């Protein structure tokens, strides 16, 4: 109820027994957070368990706020972690937040991957699906560690090599260098699994499949996209731990959502205070920075960047003086390499006694350490880009670009190259971003063509159909023209589905033509929307254009009613007054056609012959009859006709049953 009062969206789906199966709840302030990212938002999704007494999994749609901290956009409760559930949740997210994410991180679950692929085939065509390297490292341990149980040193070597391969962001590492690193890992696995060929072959096969998906997890590929520094679902994992501290395993559902809303609001207030502190701290020492850095940061009274972006930029600037620049033959391109007196800090994971990684945080993710030797050998850098791809992934210039600005004595750095999420914007700009988001017309989710889909229940088909039709309802609400178009197409599709069932929509009907079936057939097609109209004597032939017409056709004992809009007049004599001229498709008649009818179901135009002798307005009509149709007027119809009262139930009135005491305790009867 509180969601409806606050104007927030929520969706609920129940199973066949009426029990809660899944739900989607939007949180307060989420639209404002999503709007600031524009079309470059990053989205994380990861379910967890143990948050309520009903054993429903709790999942959160998470993104990065301009303050650099994690913010919850919506929460979900789900009974099953299957493909249909994930697709339903993604459709709900698309319905509420409209603009699809630029990048979407998941944990690699098979059912979730299939649901994402369905979304990418429709509403999320521009979304890049990426995998969490944190979960992949756990899978790496699960598949390959059994081969190294007797050789802990070799295991540390192979995992360190995998970790550095996954974290190397230089674009020169793509291709042959990456293949060479994977081959080195395979060689170590082959040597360790010589005594267990079955496990070794299974591990090598899994490693090969992992290498094929390199574009979804390897930093040299992932950093090509704007992820705002997100490279795993660890932010979602961290929020899950926070949520579990605020909740209990036996929490009720009615108390779960308010607790999460209050937690999210408190975190938002703390972020706002922290932003002010960071801005004031940087503003005190801003005068000591080079001119190009001052132009980026701004002043305390008028900052250009958020507090988090300032901290991130200063962290790169502190390392900038550890490099030297060597010009290359290409104009404007330099080789930026680290000075030998400042050794590189390499990414070296630490392990516990069981071979597990002690800390999954990586300094290379924020540009404070190196995953390879590219920093010593040199990075190809210009004033607009760098081979380390830090600017592309984070939206902030890297240490190599900042040193090049110092080396070339740049006075300013274009603020437009900073990601929009990190810029300090006015309240008016934020409101305009929200308005643009709400005015954005989301694309319609197309049906997936995946092979051998699992059969769905009636309730699942209904849920997916309603989620797919909501964007059409949004379009129809924009204008009268859109509403007319949507209603016409919906009527045409529903009429042909009722007529033909599983058959094609391109031909109008294939049942045997029998007069006794005409009333039921017409009623199922017209429903409560249209009704047959009279043909006024004063109506001219040319007035039939743009009118809604239904005509009956038959061929070889098969036929039915077909409906469309009269598009144009084909002959000078519109209504043929020749008796026994058939109305129907042109190939089925022996007289020239006089009208062209537009069928909205397949956007085709058909030449037909219509004449006065075959005009009718009755349901039981001979072959080749035709009629004009108009919308029914329900303004003067009593409400009891549209929604009649149910007659009283017949039979004996049901009596209340007395509760029978169970075996757990005595009855109260006779108790003193």
**Dihedral angle at the C-alpha atoms of 329, 330, 331, 335, nearest 10 degrees?**
-80
Give the model's pLDDT for residue 458: 66
CA nearest to 11, candidates 76, 108, 107, 103 = 76
Give the model's pLDDT for residue 529: 55
| Structural tokens at position 13 | 């789906």
CA nearest to 358, candidates 167, 505, 156 = 156
Measure Cα distances from 430 to 52, 186, 291, 394, 441 in Å.
36, 51, 29, 21, 19
Q: How many CA atoms lie within 13 A of 161 on its CB side?
A: 19
pLDDT digit string, tens, across residues 382-419:
999 999 999 999 999 999 999 999 999 999 999 999 99
Q: Where are the domains of the chain?
A: 2-150+173-193+225-264, 289-432, 501-631
Which is higher by pLDDT, 457 or 544?
544
Contact 27, 72 (CB under 8 A): yes
The answer for residues whose C-beta is within 8 angstroms of residue 617's C-beta and 6 or more apart is 532, 533, 534, 535, 627
DSSP 545: T
Give the model's pLDDT for residue 299: 83
Q: How far apart are CA 113 and CA 295, in angstroms?
A: 44
pLDDT digit string, tens, across residues 173-184:
998 999 999 999
pLDDT digit string, tens, across residues 309-333:
998 999 899 888 889 999 988 888 9
Strand order through the sheet with 334-338: 323-327, 334-338, 379-381
Determine which of 175-189, 283-297, 339-353 has the lowest per-residue pLDDT on average.
Answer: 339-353
Q: Provide the sign of the torsion angle of the four alpha carbons 30, 33, 37, 43, taken in this order.
A: negative
Residue the block writes with tokens 């061929």: 555
**CB burial class (10 A; 0-12, 13-18, 19+) of residue 335?**
middle
Give me the percent of the chain exceeding a pLDDT of 70.
71
Which is higher by pLDDT, 273 or 526?
273
Which is higher by pLDDT, 559 or 274?
274
pLDDT-based confidence at residue 457 (cuts at 50, 70, 90)? low
Contact 572, 562 (CB under 8 A): no
Give the model's pLDDT for residue 389: 93
In the predicted model, is pLDDT for residue 247 greater than 90?
no
CA nearest to 420, candidates 312, 305, 300, 311 = 305
| Structural tokens at position 600 | 């909205």
pLDDT-based confidence at residue 517 (cuts at 50, 70, 90)? very low
Average pLDDT of 197-214? Answer: 91
Q: How far apart are CA 259 and CA 81, in angstroms?
A: 24
In the predicted model, is pLDDT for residue 668 greater than 60?
no
Give the model's pLDDT for residue 153: 87
Neighbours of 114 (CB within 10 A): 18
Average pLDDT of 414-440? Answer: 87
The DSSP string of 334-402 is EEEEE-TTS---B----B-TTS-BS----GGGGTSSBSSSHHHH-EEE-SS-BTT-HHHHHSS--HHHH
In the predicted model, is pLDDT for residue 203 greater than 60?
yes
Give the model's pLDDT for residue 515: 38
What is the bridge-based pairing of β-strands 70-78 and 57-64? antiparallel
Give the model's pLDDT for residue 343: 63
Give the model's pLDDT for residue 455: 55
Which is higher by pLDDT, 578 or 115?
115
Contact 225, 390 (CB under 8 A): no
The DSSP string of 150-201 is T-HHHHHHHHHHHHHHHH---GGGTTHHHHHHHHHHHHHHHHHTTT-HHHHH
Give me the helix-helix angle, 480-500 and 458-476, nearest 10°.
150
Which is higher by pLDDT, 84 or 598?
84
Q: Decide: pTM greater than 0.75.
A: no
In the predicted model, is pLDDT for residue 305 greater than 70?
yes
In sequence order, the β-bridge partners of residue 130 are 105
pLDDT-based confidence at residue 641 (cuts at 50, 70, 90)? very low
Give the model's pLDDT for residue 352: 77
pLDDT-based confidence at residue 459 (cuts at 50, 70, 90)? low
In the predicted model, is pLDDT for residue 102 greater than 50?
yes
Q: How far apart are CA 442 and CA 396, in angstroms?
A: 30
Average pLDDT of 651-655? Answer: 47
pLDDT-based confidence at residue 261 (cuts at 50, 70, 90)? confident
In the predicted model, is pLDDT for residue 622 greater than 80?
no
């Amino acid at each position: 109820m509180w969601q409806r009062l606050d104007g927030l969206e929520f969706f609920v789906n129940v199973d066949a027994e009426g029990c809660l199966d899944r739900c989607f709840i939007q949180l307060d302030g989420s639209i404002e957070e999503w709007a600031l990212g524009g079309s470059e938002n990053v989205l994380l999704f990861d379910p967890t368990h143990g948050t309520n007494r009903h054993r429903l999994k709790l999942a959160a749609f998470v993104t990065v706020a301009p303050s650099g901290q994690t913010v919850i956009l919506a929460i979900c409760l789900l009974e099953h972690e299957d493909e249909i559930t994930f697709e339903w949740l993604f459709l709900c997210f698309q319905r509420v937040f409209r603009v699809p994410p630029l990048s979407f991180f998941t944990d690699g679950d098979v059912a979730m991957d299939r649901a994402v692929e369905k979304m990418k085939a429709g509403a999320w065509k521009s979304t890049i699906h990426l995998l969490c390297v944190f979960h992949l490292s756990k899978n790496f341990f699960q598949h390959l560690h059994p081969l190294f149980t007797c050789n802990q040193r070799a295991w540390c070597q192979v995992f360190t090599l995998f970790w550095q391969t996954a974290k190397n962001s230089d674009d020169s590492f793509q291709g042959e260098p990456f293949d060479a690193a994977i081959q080195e890992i395979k060689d170590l696995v082959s040597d360790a699994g010589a005594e267990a060929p079955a496990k070794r072959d299974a591990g090598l096969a899994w490693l090969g499949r992992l290498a094929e998906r390199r574009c979804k997890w390897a930093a040299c590929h992932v950093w090509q996209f704007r992820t705002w520094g997100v490279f795993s679902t660890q932010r979602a994992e961290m929020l899950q731990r926070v949520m579990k501290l605020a909740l209990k395993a036996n929490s009720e559902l009615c108390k779960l959502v308010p607790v999460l809303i209050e937690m999210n609001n408190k975190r938002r207030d703390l972020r706002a205070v922290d932003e002010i502190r960071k801005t004031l701290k940087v503003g005190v020492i801003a005068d000591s920075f080079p001119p190009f850095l001052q132009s980026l940061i701004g002043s305390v009274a008028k900052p250009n960047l958020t507090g988090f972006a300032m901290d991130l930029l200063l962290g790169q600037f502190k390392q900038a003086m550890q490099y030297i620049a060597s010009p290359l033959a290409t104009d404007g391109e330099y080789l930026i390499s680290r000075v030998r007196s400042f050794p590189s800090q390499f990414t070296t994971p630490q392990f516990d006694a069981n071979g597990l990684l002690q800390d999954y945080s990586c300094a290379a993710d924020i540009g404070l350490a190196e995953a390879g030797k590219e920093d010593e050998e040199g990075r190809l850098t210009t004033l607009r880009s760098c081979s380390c791809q830090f600017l592309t992934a984070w939206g902030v210039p890297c240490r190599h670009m900042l040193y090049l600005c110092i080396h070339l004595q740049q006075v300013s750095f274009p603020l437009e190259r900073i990601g929009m999420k990190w810029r300090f914007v006015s309240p008016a700009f934020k409101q305009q971003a929200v308005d643009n988001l709400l005015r954005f017309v989301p694309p319609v989710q197309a049906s997936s063509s995946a092979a051998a889909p699992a059969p769905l229940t009636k309730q699942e088909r209904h849920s997916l159909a309603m989620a797919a039709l909501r964007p059409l309802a949004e379009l129809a609400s924009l204008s009268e023209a859109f509403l007319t178009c949507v209603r016409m197409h919906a009527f045409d599709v529903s009429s042909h589905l009722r007529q033909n069932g599983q058959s094609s929509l391109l031909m109008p009907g294939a049942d045997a033509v029998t007069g006794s079936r005409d009333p039921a057939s017409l009623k199922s097609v017209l429903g409560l929307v249209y009704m047959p109209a009279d043909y006024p004597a004063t109506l001219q032939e040319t007035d039939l254009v743009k009118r809604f017409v239904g005509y009956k056709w038959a061929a070889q004992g098969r036929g039915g009613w077909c409906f469309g809009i009269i598009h144009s007049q084909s002959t000078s004599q519109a209504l043929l007054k020749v008796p026994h001229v058939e109305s129907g498709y042109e190939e089925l008649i022996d007289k020239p056609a006089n009208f062209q009818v537009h069928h909205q179901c397949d956007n085709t135009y058909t030449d037909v012959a219509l004449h006065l002798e075959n005009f009718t307005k009755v349901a039981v009509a001979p072959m080749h009859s035709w009629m004009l149709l108009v919308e029914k007027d329900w303004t003067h119809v009593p409400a009891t006709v549209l929604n009649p009262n149910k007659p009283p139930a017949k039979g004996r009135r049901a009596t209340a049953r007395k509760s029978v005491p169970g075996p757990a305790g005595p009855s109260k009867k006779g108790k003193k």
